[in-house]
Amino acid sequence: MGNVELRSVLFRPSLGAQRFKIGPVAFFDAGRVWTSLEPEPELDGEGAGLKYGEGGGVRFQWGEAFLVRVDAARSPDGTGFYFGVNHAF
């Protein structure tokens, strides 16, 4: 499994004593998963069976600890839209 993520801060607005950071993110993920310990090629695929995804989004940080993320991602298997609050980093 691997992940590459590029982030930047484009805006640093403030409202009184509150500080914010807003910026874009681009990412690429690749990895391998299996359905079970027994081989199931119809579900797991043949060969290396690597799956990948790519996408981008926006990060909105309030202060030092509160982060909101909005992402769109796609892979050969489909497209997804994601929203998260208090993202891990």
In a domain? residue 80 = yes
Domain count, the chain: 1
Give the C-alpha distances (Å, rounded to integers) separating 3 from 6, 52, 55, 71.
10, 10, 12, 15
3-state secondary structure 60-73: EEECCCEEEEEEEE
Q: What is the DSSP letter of 46?
A: S
Has residue 59 been placed in a domain?
Answer: yes
Does 39 reside within a domain?
no
Would you say the pTM of this structure is higher than 0.85?
no
89, pLDDT greater than 90? no
pLDDT (tens digit per residue) in 10-66: 999 999 999 999 999 999 999 988 888 887 888 777 777 788 999 999 999 998 889
The whole-number pLDDT of residue 87 equals 66
Range(s) of the domain holding residue 73 = 2-31+51-85
18 is a domain residue: yes
